[in-house]
A and B are shown apart, each in its own frame.
Chain A
Amino acid sequence: MSDTVFVQLLDLACGALLLTAVLILWRRELTVIIRVFAIQGLALAVLVAVLAAHERSAELGAVAAGIAVLRAGALPYLLRRALAGHGEVRRETRPLVNVASSLLAAAILTMLAYAVSQPLIALAPSPATQAIPVGLTVALIGFFVLVTRRRALSQLVGFLLMDNGITTVGFLTTAGTGLAVELGVSLDVLLVVLVLQILTTRMRETFGDADLDELRELRDS
Protein backbone atom coordinates (compact mmCIF):
# COMPACT_ATOMS: atom_id res chain seq x y z
CA MET A 1 0.00 0.00 0.00
CA SER A 2 1.42 3.36 -1.02
CA ASP A 3 1.73 6.17 1.49
CA THR A 4 -0.90 8.45 -0.02
CA VAL A 5 -3.50 5.67 -0.14
CA PHE A 6 -2.66 4.81 3.46
CA VAL A 7 -3.14 8.39 4.58
CA GLN A 8 -6.39 8.74 2.63
CA LEU A 9 -7.88 5.52 4.01
CA LEU A 10 -6.79 6.46 7.51
CA ASP A 11 -8.36 9.91 7.17
CA LEU A 12 -11.59 8.48 5.76
CA ALA A 13 -11.90 6.02 8.64
CA CYS A 14 -11.30 8.86 11.11
CA GLY A 15 -13.89 10.98 9.33
CA ALA A 16 -16.42 8.14 9.65
CA LEU A 17 -15.64 7.85 13.37
CA LEU A 18 -16.29 11.57 13.87
CA LEU A 19 -19.44 11.58 11.78
CA THR A 20 -20.98 8.60 13.59
CA ALA A 21 -20.17 10.12 16.99
CA VAL A 22 -21.99 13.29 15.98
CA LEU A 23 -24.95 11.32 14.61
CA ILE A 24 -25.30 9.47 17.92
CA LEU A 25 -25.54 12.84 19.64
CA TRP A 26 -27.97 14.15 17.03
CA ARG A 27 -30.59 11.43 16.66
CA ARG A 28 -33.23 10.54 19.24
CA GLU A 29 -34.47 7.12 18.17
CA LEU A 30 -32.61 4.43 20.08
CA THR A 31 -32.79 1.97 17.15
CA VAL A 32 -31.05 4.48 14.88
CA ILE A 33 -28.46 5.19 17.56
CA ILE A 34 -27.63 1.51 17.87
CA ARG A 35 -27.31 1.15 14.09
CA VAL A 36 -24.98 4.15 13.91
CA PHE A 37 -22.96 2.67 16.76
CA ALA A 38 -22.52 -0.52 14.73
CA ILE A 39 -21.27 1.54 11.78
CA GLN A 40 -18.81 3.25 14.09
CA GLY A 41 -17.51 -0.14 15.22
CA LEU A 42 -16.97 -1.01 11.59
CA ALA A 43 -15.10 2.25 10.98
CA LEU A 44 -12.86 1.50 13.96
CA ALA A 45 -12.17 -1.98 12.59
CA VAL A 46 -11.28 -0.48 9.19
CA LEU A 47 -8.94 1.98 10.91
CA VAL A 48 -7.10 -0.83 12.68
CA ALA A 49 -7.03 -2.93 9.50
CA VAL A 50 -5.49 -0.03 7.58
CA LEU A 51 -2.84 0.34 10.29
CA ALA A 52 -2.26 -3.44 10.15
CA ALA A 53 -1.80 -3.38 6.38
CA HIS A 54 0.58 -0.46 6.68
CA GLU A 55 2.68 -2.13 9.38
CA ARG A 56 2.33 -5.57 7.76
CA SER A 57 1.46 -7.00 11.16
CA ALA A 58 -0.64 -10.16 11.28
CA GLU A 59 -1.27 -9.65 14.97
CA LEU A 60 -2.83 -6.25 14.34
CA GLY A 61 -4.93 -7.81 11.55
CA ALA A 62 -6.30 -10.33 14.03
CA VAL A 63 -7.12 -7.50 16.43
CA ALA A 64 -8.97 -5.70 13.60
CA ALA A 65 -11.05 -8.80 12.92
CA GLY A 66 -11.77 -9.14 16.65
CA ILE A 67 -12.88 -5.50 16.85
CA ALA A 68 -15.15 -5.95 13.84
CA VAL A 69 -16.83 -8.98 15.41
CA LEU A 70 -17.18 -7.43 18.87
CA ARG A 71 -17.99 -3.80 18.13
CA ALA A 72 -19.90 -4.07 14.86
CA GLY A 73 -21.58 -7.41 15.67
CA ALA A 74 -21.83 -8.55 19.27
CA LEU A 75 -22.27 -5.27 21.17
CA PRO A 76 -24.95 -3.81 18.83
CA TYR A 77 -26.71 -7.18 18.95
CA LEU A 78 -26.75 -7.13 22.74
CA LEU A 79 -27.96 -3.52 22.75
CA ARG A 80 -30.72 -4.35 20.31
CA ARG A 81 -31.80 -7.26 22.47
CA ALA A 82 -31.88 -5.05 25.53
CA LEU A 83 -34.07 -2.62 23.58
CA ALA A 84 -36.40 -5.27 22.17
CA GLY A 85 -36.73 -7.09 25.50
CA HIS A 86 -39.69 -4.99 26.51
CA GLY A 87 -41.91 -2.61 24.64
CA GLU A 88 -39.87 0.22 26.08
CA VAL A 89 -40.03 3.81 24.93
CA ARG A 90 -37.90 3.85 21.81
CA ARG A 91 -36.74 7.44 21.96
CA GLU A 92 -34.52 9.49 24.15
CA THR A 93 -37.24 11.97 24.94
CA ARG A 94 -35.82 14.24 27.58
CA PRO A 95 -32.05 14.58 27.53
CA LEU A 96 -30.73 16.83 30.31
CA VAL A 97 -29.25 19.18 27.71
CA ASN A 98 -31.35 19.71 24.61
CA VAL A 99 -30.07 18.42 21.30
CA ALA A 100 -29.18 21.77 19.72
CA SER A 101 -27.15 22.82 22.77
CA SER A 102 -25.43 19.47 23.03
CA LEU A 103 -24.39 19.73 19.38
CA LEU A 104 -22.85 23.12 20.09
CA ALA A 105 -21.20 21.66 23.20
CA ALA A 106 -19.73 18.95 20.98
CA ALA A 107 -18.15 21.69 18.85
CA ILE A 108 -16.41 23.05 21.97
CA LEU A 109 -15.33 19.54 22.97
CA THR A 110 -13.74 19.13 19.52
CA MET A 111 -11.70 22.30 20.01
CA LEU A 112 -10.70 21.11 23.48
CA ALA A 113 -9.56 17.74 22.11
CA TYR A 114 -7.50 19.48 19.45
CA ALA A 115 -5.87 21.83 21.94
CA VAL A 116 -5.11 19.11 24.46
CA SER A 117 -3.59 16.67 21.99
CA GLN A 118 -1.13 19.14 20.43
CA PRO A 119 1.77 18.18 22.77
CA LEU A 120 1.08 14.49 22.07
CA ILE A 121 1.30 15.03 18.31
CA ALA A 122 4.46 17.08 18.68
CA LEU A 123 6.20 14.06 20.26
CA ALA A 124 6.12 12.06 17.00
CA PRO A 125 4.38 13.75 14.07
CA SER A 126 3.01 11.21 11.57
CA PRO A 127 -0.31 10.75 9.75
CA ALA A 128 -1.46 8.32 12.44
CA THR A 129 -0.64 10.53 15.43
CA GLN A 130 -2.18 13.55 13.75
CA ALA A 131 -5.52 11.78 13.92
CA ILE A 132 -5.32 11.57 17.73
CA PRO A 133 -7.72 14.53 18.23
CA VAL A 134 -10.38 12.50 16.41
CA GLY A 135 -10.12 9.68 18.93
CA LEU A 136 -10.10 12.14 21.80
CA THR A 137 -13.17 13.92 20.41
CA VAL A 138 -15.06 10.63 20.17
CA ALA A 139 -14.12 9.85 23.78
CA LEU A 140 -15.24 13.30 24.98
CA ILE A 141 -18.52 13.13 23.06
CA GLY A 142 -19.07 9.67 24.57
CA PHE A 143 -18.54 11.09 28.03
CA PHE A 144 -20.95 13.92 27.24
CA VAL A 145 -23.61 11.42 26.12
CA LEU A 146 -22.96 9.40 29.27
CA VAL A 147 -23.61 12.34 31.61
CA THR A 148 -26.49 14.05 29.80
CA ARG A 149 -28.81 11.21 28.82
CA ARG A 150 -31.46 9.75 31.06
CA ARG A 151 -32.21 6.34 29.60
CA ALA A 152 -29.92 3.57 30.77
CA LEU A 153 -29.50 2.35 27.21
CA SER A 154 -28.30 5.68 25.81
CA GLN A 155 -25.89 6.00 28.72
CA LEU A 156 -24.59 2.57 27.81
CA VAL A 157 -24.06 3.75 24.23
CA GLY A 158 -22.21 6.78 25.62
CA PHE A 159 -19.94 4.48 27.63
CA LEU A 160 -19.22 2.37 24.56
CA LEU A 161 -18.59 5.51 22.50
CA MET A 162 -16.04 6.60 25.10
CA ASP A 163 -14.40 3.20 24.91
CA ASN A 164 -14.28 3.40 21.10
CA GLY A 165 -12.53 6.76 21.41
CA ILE A 166 -10.00 5.43 23.91
CA THR A 167 -9.28 2.43 21.69
CA THR A 168 -8.80 4.73 18.70
CA VAL A 169 -6.32 6.88 20.58
CA GLY A 170 -4.53 3.75 21.77
CA PHE A 171 -4.07 2.38 18.27
CA LEU A 172 -3.10 5.72 16.78
CA THR A 173 -0.43 6.43 19.40
CA THR A 174 1.32 3.09 19.72
CA ALA A 175 0.22 1.44 16.47
CA GLY A 176 -1.12 -1.50 18.41
CA THR A 177 -1.21 -2.44 22.04
CA GLY A 178 -0.37 -6.09 22.41
CA LEU A 179 -2.91 -8.67 21.32
CA ALA A 180 -3.28 -9.90 24.90
CA VAL A 181 -4.01 -6.41 26.23
CA GLU A 182 -6.55 -5.72 23.52
CA LEU A 183 -8.27 -9.05 24.14
CA GLY A 184 -8.45 -8.30 27.85
CA VAL A 185 -9.95 -4.87 27.28
CA SER A 186 -12.48 -6.22 24.79
CA LEU A 187 -13.56 -8.93 27.20
CA ASP A 188 -13.98 -6.34 29.93
CA VAL A 189 -16.17 -4.19 27.71
CA LEU A 190 -18.26 -7.20 26.71
CA LEU A 191 -18.71 -8.15 30.36
CA VAL A 192 -19.72 -4.61 31.29
CA VAL A 193 -22.34 -4.57 28.56
CA LEU A 194 -23.68 -7.98 29.57
CA VAL A 195 -23.90 -6.94 33.23
CA LEU A 196 -25.52 -3.62 32.35
CA GLN A 197 -27.96 -5.36 30.05
CA ILE A 198 -29.06 -7.65 32.86
CA LEU A 199 -29.22 -4.65 35.17
CA THR A 200 -31.43 -2.62 32.83
CA THR A 201 -33.72 -5.60 32.32
CA ARG A 202 -33.98 -5.99 36.09
CA MET A 203 -34.58 -2.29 36.58
CA ARG A 204 -37.36 -2.33 34.07
CA GLU A 205 -38.96 -5.36 35.64
CA THR A 206 -38.87 -3.70 39.06
CA PHE A 207 -39.67 -0.12 38.22
CA GLY A 208 -41.25 -0.31 34.79
CA ASP A 209 -38.77 2.13 33.33
CA ALA A 210 -35.05 2.62 32.98
CA ASP A 211 -35.04 6.37 33.44
CA LEU A 212 -32.24 6.72 35.94
CA ASP A 213 -33.47 10.01 37.37
CA GLU A 214 -36.58 8.29 38.67
CA LEU A 215 -34.54 5.77 40.66
CA ARG A 216 -34.03 7.70 43.86
CA GLU A 217 -35.10 5.40 46.64
CA LEU A 218 -34.24 1.86 47.60
CA ARG A 219 -36.98 -0.72 47.70
CA ASP A 220 -37.17 -4.19 49.10
CA SER A 221 -39.42 -5.95 46.68
Chain B
Amino acid sequence: MSAVGIVGGIVQPIVVLGGSPLLVGVMRQIRARLEGRAGAGILQPWRDLRKLLRKEPITPRGTSEVFRVAPLVLVATTLVVAVVTPFLTTSSALGPVADLFAVVALLALGTVALALAGLDTGTAFGGMGSSREMTIIALVEPTLLVAIFALSVRVGSTNLASIITSTVDDPARVISPVSLLAAVALVVVIVAETGRLPVDNPSTHLELTMVHEAMILEYAGPDLALVELASAMRLSVFLGLLANLFLPWGIATSAAPLAIGVGLLAWIVKVTLLGSLLAAGEVFLAKLRLFRVPELLAGSFLLALLAVAASFFLA
Protein backbone atom coordinates (compact mmCIF):
# COMPACT_ATOMS: atom_id res chain seq x y z
CA MET B 1 0.00 0.00 0.00
CA SER B 2 1.61 3.26 -1.11
CA ALA B 3 0.91 6.89 -0.31
CA VAL B 4 -0.44 7.55 -3.78
CA GLY B 5 -2.69 4.54 -3.47
CA ILE B 6 -4.15 5.79 -0.20
CA VAL B 7 -4.84 9.24 -1.67
CA GLY B 8 -6.63 7.53 -4.57
CA GLY B 9 -8.52 5.29 -2.17
CA ILE B 10 -9.84 8.30 -0.27
CA VAL B 11 -10.54 10.72 -3.11
CA GLN B 12 -12.05 8.26 -5.59
CA PRO B 13 -15.12 7.13 -3.61
CA ILE B 14 -15.89 10.74 -2.65
CA VAL B 15 -15.74 11.89 -6.27
CA VAL B 16 -17.75 8.91 -7.50
CA LEU B 17 -20.37 9.38 -4.79
CA GLY B 18 -20.75 13.11 -5.36
CA GLY B 19 -20.14 13.21 -9.09
CA SER B 20 -22.17 10.34 -10.50
CA PRO B 21 -25.61 12.01 -10.11
CA LEU B 22 -24.07 15.04 -11.81
CA LEU B 23 -22.87 12.78 -14.65
CA VAL B 24 -26.42 11.45 -15.03
CA GLY B 25 -27.64 15.06 -14.97
CA VAL B 26 -25.22 16.06 -17.71
CA MET B 27 -26.26 13.09 -19.84
CA ARG B 28 -29.98 13.88 -19.40
CA GLN B 29 -29.33 17.53 -20.20
CA ILE B 30 -27.49 16.62 -23.40
CA ARG B 31 -30.30 14.34 -24.47
CA ALA B 32 -32.86 17.03 -23.69
CA ARG B 33 -31.02 19.68 -25.71
CA LEU B 34 -30.51 17.36 -28.69
CA GLU B 35 -34.20 16.48 -28.63
CA GLY B 36 -35.14 20.17 -28.55
CA ARG B 37 -36.26 20.25 -24.91
CA ALA B 38 -34.99 22.69 -22.30
CA GLY B 39 -33.96 20.00 -19.79
CA ALA B 40 -34.12 20.07 -16.01
CA GLY B 41 -30.52 21.13 -15.37
CA ILE B 42 -27.63 18.98 -14.33
CA LEU B 43 -28.42 19.22 -10.61
CA GLN B 44 -31.82 17.58 -10.99
CA PRO B 45 -30.70 14.01 -10.06
CA TRP B 46 -29.32 15.37 -6.78
CA ARG B 47 -32.59 17.23 -6.09
CA ASP B 48 -34.52 13.99 -6.75
CA LEU B 49 -32.25 12.08 -4.40
CA ARG B 50 -32.66 14.69 -1.66
CA LYS B 51 -36.42 14.54 -2.01
CA LEU B 52 -36.45 10.74 -1.85
CA LEU B 53 -34.11 10.59 1.14
CA ARG B 54 -36.43 12.77 3.22
CA LYS B 55 -39.38 10.44 2.74
CA GLU B 56 -40.51 7.81 5.17
CA PRO B 57 -39.00 4.37 4.47
CA ILE B 58 -41.72 1.86 3.58
CA THR B 59 -41.49 -1.64 2.21
CA PRO B 60 -44.23 -3.74 0.61
CA ARG B 61 -45.98 -6.26 2.85
CA GLY B 62 -44.57 -9.77 2.61
CA THR B 63 -41.07 -8.89 1.55
CA SER B 64 -38.11 -10.28 3.43
CA GLU B 65 -34.68 -9.01 4.42
CA VAL B 66 -33.42 -9.67 0.87
CA PHE B 67 -35.54 -6.79 -0.35
CA ARG B 68 -34.31 -4.43 2.38
CA VAL B 69 -30.62 -5.32 2.14
CA ALA B 70 -30.34 -5.24 -1.66
CA PRO B 71 -29.94 -1.43 -2.05
CA LEU B 72 -27.23 -1.43 0.62
CA VAL B 73 -25.38 -4.31 -1.05
CA LEU B 74 -25.62 -2.52 -4.37
CA VAL B 75 -24.17 0.73 -3.00
CA ALA B 76 -21.55 -1.04 -0.88
CA THR B 77 -20.16 -3.19 -3.70
CA THR B 78 -20.01 -0.20 -6.03
CA LEU B 79 -18.21 1.84 -3.37
CA VAL B 80 -15.62 -0.90 -2.85
CA VAL B 81 -15.01 -0.98 -6.60
CA ALA B 82 -14.69 2.82 -6.57
CA VAL B 83 -12.09 2.58 -3.79
CA VAL B 84 -9.89 -0.11 -5.30
CA THR B 85 -10.00 0.47 -9.06
CA PRO B 86 -7.25 2.78 -10.31
CA PHE B 87 -9.17 5.78 -11.63
CA LEU B 88 -7.18 8.67 -10.25
CA THR B 89 -3.81 7.07 -9.64
CA THR B 90 -2.04 4.08 -11.13
CA SER B 91 -1.69 2.30 -7.82
CA SER B 92 -4.56 1.02 -5.77
CA ALA B 93 -5.36 1.40 -2.08
CA LEU B 94 -5.96 -2.33 -1.75
CA GLY B 95 -3.76 -3.92 -4.39
CA PRO B 96 -5.00 -7.54 -4.25
CA VAL B 97 -8.67 -6.49 -4.50
CA ALA B 98 -8.04 -4.40 -7.62
CA ASP B 99 -8.04 -7.67 -9.50
CA LEU B 100 -10.04 -8.10 -12.68
CA PHE B 101 -11.97 -11.07 -11.33
CA ALA B 102 -12.63 -9.47 -7.94
CA VAL B 103 -13.93 -6.23 -9.47
CA VAL B 104 -16.21 -7.98 -11.97
CA ALA B 105 -17.48 -10.31 -9.23
CA LEU B 106 -18.24 -7.34 -6.96
CA LEU B 107 -20.20 -5.62 -9.71
CA ALA B 108 -22.06 -8.85 -10.50
CA LEU B 109 -22.88 -9.30 -6.80
CA GLY B 110 -24.72 -5.97 -6.80
CA THR B 111 -26.73 -6.91 -9.87
CA VAL B 112 -27.64 -10.30 -8.42
CA ALA B 113 -28.74 -8.69 -5.14
CA LEU B 114 -31.07 -6.39 -7.03
CA ALA B 115 -32.44 -9.26 -9.13
CA LEU B 116 -33.12 -11.26 -5.96
CA ALA B 117 -34.91 -8.25 -4.50
CA GLY B 118 -37.03 -8.07 -7.65
CA LEU B 119 -38.00 -11.73 -7.18
CA ASP B 120 -38.62 -11.18 -3.48
CA THR B 121 -41.46 -8.75 -4.09
CA GLY B 122 -43.48 -11.56 -5.63
CA THR B 123 -45.07 -9.27 -8.20
CA ALA B 124 -45.28 -10.03 -11.89
CA PHE B 125 -43.15 -7.06 -12.86
CA GLY B 126 -40.38 -7.78 -10.38
CA GLY B 127 -40.05 -11.37 -11.53
CA MET B 128 -40.13 -10.39 -15.18
CA GLY B 129 -37.46 -7.73 -14.69
CA SER B 130 -35.25 -10.12 -12.74
CA SER B 131 -35.56 -12.84 -15.35
CA ARG B 132 -34.67 -10.40 -18.13
CA GLU B 133 -31.77 -9.02 -16.14
CA MET B 134 -30.43 -12.55 -15.63
CA THR B 135 -30.72 -13.27 -19.37
CA ILE B 136 -28.63 -10.21 -20.07
CA ILE B 137 -26.09 -10.72 -17.31
CA ALA B 138 -25.46 -14.33 -18.34
CA LEU B 139 -23.76 -13.00 -21.47
CA VAL B 140 -22.52 -9.71 -20.05
CA GLU B 141 -20.33 -11.06 -17.25
CA PRO B 142 -18.25 -13.48 -19.36
CA THR B 143 -17.82 -10.79 -22.00
CA LEU B 144 -16.65 -8.28 -19.41
CA LEU B 145 -14.15 -10.77 -18.01
CA VAL B 146 -12.88 -11.92 -21.39
CA ALA B 147 -12.55 -8.39 -22.80
CA ILE B 148 -10.39 -7.17 -19.93
CA PHE B 149 -8.57 -10.50 -19.87
CA ALA B 150 -7.46 -9.78 -23.44
CA LEU B 151 -5.63 -6.74 -22.12
CA SER B 152 -4.14 -8.61 -19.19
CA VAL B 153 -2.60 -11.37 -21.33
CA ARG B 154 0.30 -9.23 -22.52
CA VAL B 155 0.87 -7.81 -19.04
CA GLY B 156 0.87 -11.25 -17.47
CA SER B 157 -1.28 -10.17 -14.55
CA THR B 158 -5.00 -9.72 -13.98
CA ASN B 159 -4.39 -6.83 -11.60
CA LEU B 160 -6.09 -3.74 -13.01
CA ALA B 161 -3.36 -1.46 -11.65
CA SER B 162 -0.66 -3.42 -13.50
CA ILE B 163 -2.67 -3.37 -16.72
CA ILE B 164 -3.13 0.39 -16.55
CA THR B 165 0.49 1.04 -15.54
CA SER B 166 1.76 -0.96 -18.51
CA THR B 167 -0.52 0.96 -20.88
CA VAL B 168 0.79 4.25 -19.46
CA ASP B 169 4.35 3.04 -20.07
CA ASP B 170 3.65 2.01 -23.65
CA PRO B 171 0.82 4.07 -25.17
CA ALA B 172 1.40 2.63 -28.67
CA ARG B 173 -0.30 -0.57 -27.48
CA VAL B 174 -3.67 1.12 -27.62
CA ILE B 175 -3.60 0.97 -31.42
CA SER B 176 -3.54 -2.78 -31.79
CA PRO B 177 -6.26 -5.15 -32.95
CA VAL B 178 -6.44 -6.60 -29.43
CA SER B 179 -7.30 -3.22 -27.87
CA LEU B 180 -9.71 -2.24 -30.62
CA LEU B 181 -11.68 -5.50 -30.49
CA ALA B 182 -11.73 -5.46 -26.69
CA ALA B 183 -12.83 -1.80 -26.65
CA VAL B 184 -15.80 -2.45 -28.96
CA ALA B 185 -16.84 -5.47 -26.88
CA LEU B 186 -16.51 -3.51 -23.66
CA VAL B 187 -18.61 -0.60 -24.93
CA VAL B 188 -21.46 -2.94 -25.89
CA VAL B 189 -21.24 -4.67 -22.54
CA ILE B 190 -21.23 -1.43 -20.57
CA VAL B 191 -24.27 -0.21 -22.46
CA ALA B 192 -26.07 -3.46 -21.61
CA GLU B 193 -24.90 -3.63 -18.01
CA THR B 194 -25.85 -0.07 -17.11
CA GLY B 195 -29.24 -0.43 -18.78
CA ARG B 196 -28.93 2.21 -21.48
CA LEU B 197 -30.30 2.25 -25.01
CA PRO B 198 -30.44 0.13 -27.16
CA VAL B 199 -30.70 -2.65 -24.56
CA ASP B 200 -32.89 -0.97 -21.99
CA ASN B 201 -34.45 2.46 -21.83
CA PRO B 202 -33.83 4.02 -18.42
CA SER B 203 -36.45 6.74 -18.84
CA THR B 204 -39.58 4.74 -19.60
CA HIS B 205 -42.03 2.77 -17.56
CA LEU B 206 -43.38 0.80 -20.48
CA GLU B 207 -43.94 -2.74 -19.29
CA LEU B 208 -43.01 -4.35 -22.62
CA THR B 209 -39.52 -2.95 -22.62
CA MET B 210 -38.31 -2.28 -19.13
CA VAL B 211 -35.61 -4.36 -17.50
CA HIS B 212 -33.96 -2.39 -14.73
CA GLU B 213 -37.07 -0.34 -13.94
CA ALA B 214 -39.20 -3.45 -13.49
CA MET B 215 -36.92 -4.78 -10.76
CA ILE B 216 -36.99 -1.59 -8.69
CA LEU B 217 -40.67 -0.81 -9.16
CA GLU B 218 -41.53 -1.64 -5.54
CA TYR B 219 -38.84 0.52 -3.99
CA ALA B 220 -39.78 3.88 -2.47
CA GLY B 221 -38.23 6.64 -0.41
CA PRO B 222 -34.65 6.28 0.85
CA ASP B 223 -34.31 2.75 -0.59
CA LEU B 224 -35.18 4.03 -4.04
CA ALA B 225 -32.69 6.86 -3.55
CA LEU B 226 -29.96 4.32 -2.76
CA VAL B 227 -30.81 2.24 -5.83
CA GLU B 228 -30.81 5.31 -8.07
CA LEU B 229 -27.55 6.54 -6.58
CA ALA B 230 -25.97 3.11 -6.99
CA SER B 231 -26.96 2.82 -10.63
CA ALA B 232 -25.51 6.29 -11.32
CA MET B 233 -22.32 5.22 -9.52
CA ARG B 234 -22.12 2.01 -11.51
CA LEU B 235 -22.38 4.00 -14.71
CA SER B 236 -19.50 6.28 -13.74
CA VAL B 237 -17.41 3.35 -12.49
CA PHE B 238 -17.88 1.49 -15.78
CA LEU B 239 -17.12 4.57 -17.85
CA GLY B 240 -14.05 5.27 -15.71
CA LEU B 241 -12.85 1.70 -16.22
CA LEU B 242 -13.35 2.00 -19.98
CA ALA B 243 -11.53 5.34 -20.09
CA ASN B 244 -8.55 4.20 -18.03
CA LEU B 245 -8.09 0.82 -19.67
CA PHE B 246 -7.83 2.31 -23.14
CA LEU B 247 -6.94 5.99 -22.66
CA PRO B 248 -4.97 6.22 -19.41
CA TRP B 249 -3.55 9.66 -20.23
CA GLY B 250 -3.13 12.07 -17.37
CA ILE B 251 -3.50 9.47 -14.64
CA ALA B 252 -1.40 10.31 -11.56
CA THR B 253 1.70 8.16 -11.08
CA SER B 254 3.03 9.93 -7.98
CA ALA B 255 1.49 11.49 -4.86
CA ALA B 256 2.59 15.05 -5.74
CA PRO B 257 -0.35 17.49 -5.42
CA LEU B 258 0.06 18.63 -9.02
CA ALA B 259 -0.02 15.06 -10.35
CA ILE B 260 -3.11 14.30 -8.24
CA GLY B 261 -4.82 17.46 -9.50
CA VAL B 262 -4.07 16.63 -13.13
CA GLY B 263 -5.18 13.05 -12.56
CA LEU B 264 -8.47 14.18 -11.03
CA LEU B 265 -9.15 16.65 -13.84
CA ALA B 266 -8.25 14.12 -16.56
CA TRP B 267 -10.47 11.46 -14.95
CA ILE B 268 -13.48 13.78 -14.67
CA VAL B 269 -13.04 15.11 -18.21
CA LYS B 270 -12.68 11.63 -19.70
CA VAL B 271 -15.73 10.22 -17.92
CA THR B 272 -17.86 13.28 -18.74
CA LEU B 273 -16.79 13.08 -22.37
CA LEU B 274 -17.59 9.37 -22.62
CA GLY B 275 -20.94 9.94 -20.90
CA SER B 276 -21.76 12.78 -23.30
CA LEU B 277 -20.88 10.58 -26.30
CA LEU B 278 -23.11 7.82 -24.91
CA ALA B 279 -25.99 10.27 -24.35
CA ALA B 280 -25.58 11.82 -27.81
CA GLY B 281 -25.49 8.34 -29.36
CA GLU B 282 -28.67 7.33 -27.55
CA VAL B 283 -30.62 10.09 -29.27
CA PHE B 284 -30.12 8.33 -32.59
CA LEU B 285 -30.90 4.83 -31.39
CA ALA B 286 -34.14 2.95 -30.99
CA LYS B 287 -34.50 0.23 -28.40
CA LEU B 288 -33.65 -3.23 -29.65
CA ARG B 289 -36.29 -5.93 -29.45
CA LEU B 290 -35.66 -8.04 -26.37
CA PHE B 291 -35.17 -11.15 -28.51
CA ARG B 292 -32.42 -9.43 -30.47
CA VAL B 293 -30.48 -8.48 -27.33
CA PRO B 294 -28.80 -11.93 -26.92
CA GLU B 295 -27.67 -11.61 -30.54
CA LEU B 296 -26.00 -8.28 -29.79
CA LEU B 297 -24.40 -9.66 -26.65
CA ALA B 298 -23.26 -12.86 -28.37
CA GLY B 299 -21.60 -10.63 -30.95
CA SER B 300 -19.79 -8.65 -28.31
CA PHE B 301 -18.76 -11.88 -26.57
CA LEU B 302 -17.29 -13.12 -29.84
CA LEU B 303 -15.40 -9.84 -30.28
CA ALA B 304 -13.99 -10.15 -26.76
CA LEU B 305 -12.99 -13.74 -27.43
CA LEU B 306 -11.36 -12.72 -30.70
CA ALA B 307 -9.46 -10.07 -28.77
CA VAL B 308 -8.07 -12.73 -26.43
CA ALA B 309 -7.36 -15.03 -29.36
CA ALA B 310 -5.63 -12.20 -31.23
CA SER B 311 -3.45 -11.45 -28.23
CA PHE B 312 -2.15 -15.01 -28.57
CA PHE B 313 -2.05 -15.06 -32.41
CA LEU B 314 -0.25 -11.79 -32.87
CA ALA B 315 1.92 -11.85 -29.78
List the interface of chain A (C-beta within 8 A of B). Answer: 4, 8, 11-12, 14-16, 18-19, 22, 26, 98-101, 103-104, 106-107, 110-111, 114, 127, 130-131, 133-134, 137
Contact B314 A110 (CB under 8 A): no
Q: How far is the CA of A110 from the CA of B311 in the complex (A)?
A: 13
Q: Which of A16, A107, A130 contacts B315 (CB 8 A)?
A: A130
Contact B314 A14 (CB under 8 A): yes
Q: Which of B178, B309, B315 contacts A110 (CB 8 A)?
A: B309
B299 within 8 A of A: yes
Besides A8-B172, A19-B303, A114-B313, 12 other CB < 8 A contacts?
Answer: A11-B314, A12-B175, A14-B310, A18-B310, A19-B180, A19-B306, A22-B299, A22-B303, A98-B295, A100-B298, A104-B302, A106-B302
Q: Which residue in chain B gives the minimum CB-CB distance to A136?
A: B313
Q: State how many angstroms separate the Cβ of A63 from the closest Cβ of chain B.
A: 23
B177 within 8 A of A: yes
Tell me whether chain B's interface is mostly helix, strand or loop, or mixed. helix
List residues of chain B with CB within 8 A of the CB of A107: 301-302, 305-306
List residues of chain A with CB within 8 A of the CB of B261: none
Q: Provided the pairs A12-B175, A15-B176, A15-B180 are in contact, do residues A104 and B298 lie with their beta carbons within 8 angstroms?
A: yes
**Nearest 4 CB-CB pairings of A with B:** A15-B177, A100-B298, A103-B298, A100-B295
B221 within 8 A of A: no
Q: How far is the CA of A14 from the CA of B302 in the complex (A)?
A: 16
Q: Which residue in chain B gives the minimum CB-CB distance to A134?
A: B313
Contact B181 A18 (CB under 8 A): yes
Q: Provided the pairs A11-B176, A15-B181, A107-B305 are in contact, do residues A134 and B310 lie with their beta carbons within 8 angstroms?
A: yes
Q: Which residue in chain A gives the minimum CB-CB distance to B314?
A: A11
Tell me whether chain A's interface is mostly helix, strand or loop, or mixed. helix
List residues of chain B with CB within 8 A of the CB of A98: 295
List the interface of chain B (C-beta within 8 A of A). Answer: 172, 175-178, 180-181, 294-295, 298-299, 301-303, 305-306, 309-310, 312-315
Q: How far is the CA of A100 from the CA of B138 in the complex (A)?
A: 14
Contact B313 A133 (CB under 8 A): yes
Q: How far is the CA of A26 from the CA of B309 in the complex (A)?
A: 19
Q: State how many angstroms separate the Cβ of B154 from the closest Cβ of chain A.
A: 12
Contact A110 B298 (CB under 8 A): no
Q: Which residue in chain B gives the minimum CB-CB distance to A110?
A: B309
Contact B314 A18 (CB under 8 A): no
Interface centre among A99, A100, A104 (most CB of B within 10 A): A100
List residues of chain A with CB within 8 A of the CB of B176: 8, 11-12, 15
A-B contact pairs, 20 of them (CB 8 A): A8-B172, A8-B176, A11-B176, A11-B310, A11-B314, A15-B178, A15-B310, A18-B306, A18-B310, A19-B177, A19-B181, A99-B295, A103-B295, A103-B302, A107-B301, A107-B302, A107-B306, A110-B306, A134-B310, A134-B313
Contact B305 A110 (CB under 8 A): yes
Q: Provided the pairs A103-B298, A130-B313 are in contact, do residues A18 and B177 lie with their beta carbons within 8 angstroms?
A: yes
Q: How far is the CA of A192 from the CA of B184 in the complex (A)?
A: 35
List residues of chain A with CB within 8 A of the CB of B305: 107, 110
Q: Which residue in chain A gives the minimum CB-CB distance to B173?
A: A8
Interface centre among B180, B295, B305, B313 (most CB of A within 10 A): B313
Q: How far is the CA of A15 from the CA of B184 in the complex (A)?
A: 12
Q: Which residue in chain A gives the minimum CB-CB distance to B139?
A: A100
List residues of chain A with CB within 8 A of the CB of B315: 130
Q: How far is the CA of A15 from the CA of B309 in the complex (A)?
A: 11
Q: Which residue in chain B gives the minimum CB-CB distance to A108?
A: B305
Q: How far is the CA of A172 from the CA of B192 in the complex (A)?
A: 38
List residues of chain B with CB within 8 A of the CB of A26: 295, 299
Q: State how many angstroms separate the Cβ of A56 from the closest Cβ of chain B.
A: 23
Contact B309 A11 (CB under 8 A): no
Q: How far is the CA of A131 from the CA of B177 in the complex (A)?
A: 12
Q: State how many angstroms separate the Cβ of B281 from the closest Cβ of chain A.
A: 19
List residues of chain A with CB within 8 A of the CB of B298: 99-101, 103-104
